[in-house]
């Protein structure tokens, strides 16, 4: 519940879902459905008025421990442009309490995962949008979290760079990291997610695989199955606040 100048607003109501090891779960829903609110609560940026976030049996809302969670909100901001990628990562490695003697290896590890190791001595101000997006993912990976939260990881990126980032995300899941992502791009959700949580007006409208959502939308195609986008559009009127 948000409290906006004394006015209470229930942003999420009875939202409950699981993410298994190595699974990619996508939060899908219209603007204002509550996706960023969920990511912010799990990431520890917002304290919910009620509810639990359980990671490996531990309620992290109670313990306030976020050691096992990496969050990437992405965007152009968040790094010091005049410093190199490596210097920026050292700053965040300190924040993540990674011991100094382990930082060099850890920074190289995360930059390698997102294919930025060769650029680690370049200043971030010269980085493209896609490189900055990969920097955000690398930062979220510092300390090797078990759960990665990605808010619109390919927003505003061209198709080639977006595909490159999706491959990084897929590989991370294959390595055993659990991923919760939000995206407005149906093709992305279709390509990446093992499970979809379809949100409408702060409530879960449906949970399941792409096929489950397509089935539920009752959009039929004679020559081919309906796409996720066609199914989503059929369901969209039911998702509004
Ligand atoms: N700080 C706040 N105070 C009051 N209401 C808020 C606040 N932040 C978000 N909301 C409201 O909560 C609802 C959910 O917002 P949220 O940003 O989680 O949606 P979203 O699904 O991420 O949307 P988008 O796709 O546009 O990013 C919206 O109706 C929004 O107006």
Distance 15 CA to ligand 1 centre (A): 15
| 126 CB near ligand 1 (under 6 Å) | no
Whole-model pTM: value is 0.91
**How high is the ipTM of this complex?**
0.95
Task: Give one DSSP letter per residue of the chain, joined into a string.
Answer: -EEETTEEE----S------TT-EEEEE-STTSSHHHHHHHHHTSS--SS---EETTEEHHHH---TTEEEE--SS-SS-TTSBHHHHHHHHHHHTT--HHHHHHHHHHHHHHTT-GGGTTSBGGG--HHHHHHHHHHHHHTT--SEEEEESTTTT--HHHHHHHHHHHHHHHHTT-EEEEE-S-HHHHHHH-SEEEEEETTEEEEEE-HHHHHHHHT---SSSPPPHHHHHHHHGGGG--
- Which of 4, 5, 13, 36 should be mutated for ligand 1, with most atoms under 8 A from CB? 36
CATH 3.40.30.10 fits 14-68+149-241, yes or no: no
Please report, for the chain, the start and end positions of each structural domain, with discontinuous segments joined by +: 14-68+149-241, 77-144
Residue nearest to atom 7 of ligand 1 (CA): 2
pLDDT tens column, 163-219: 989 999 999 999 999 999 998 889 899 999 999 999 998 999 999 999 999 988 888
């Amino acid at each position: 519940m948000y409290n906006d100048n004394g006015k209470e607003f229930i942003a999420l109501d009875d939202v409950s879902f699981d993410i298994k090891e190595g699974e990619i779960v996508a939060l899908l829903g219209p603007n204002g459905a509550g996706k960023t609110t969920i990511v912010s609560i799990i990431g520890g940026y917002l304290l919910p008025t009620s509810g639990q976030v359980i990671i490996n049996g531990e309620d992290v809302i109670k313990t306030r421990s976020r050691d096992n969670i990496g969050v990437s909100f992405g965007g152009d901001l968040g790094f010091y442009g005049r410093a190199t990628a490596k210097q920026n990562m050292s700053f965040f490695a300190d924040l993540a309490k990674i011991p100094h003697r382990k930082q060099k290896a850890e920074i190289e590890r995360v930059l390698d995962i997102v294919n930025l190791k060769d650029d680690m001595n370049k200043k971030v101000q010269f980085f493209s949008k896609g490189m900055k997006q990969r920097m955000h993912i690398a930062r979220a990976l510092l300390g090797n979290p078990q759960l990665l939260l990605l808010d619109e990881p390919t927003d505003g990126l061209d198709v080639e760079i977006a595909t490159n980032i999706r491959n990084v995300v897929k590989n991370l899941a294959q390595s055993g990291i659990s991923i919760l992502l939000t995206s407005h791009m149906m093709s992305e959700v279709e390509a990446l997610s093992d499970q979809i949580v379809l949100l409408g007006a702060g409530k879960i409208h449906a949970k399941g695989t792409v096929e489950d959502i397509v089935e539920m939308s009752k959009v039929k195609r004679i020559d081919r199955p309906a796409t996720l986008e066609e199914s989503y559009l059929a369901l969209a009127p039911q998702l509004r606040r």
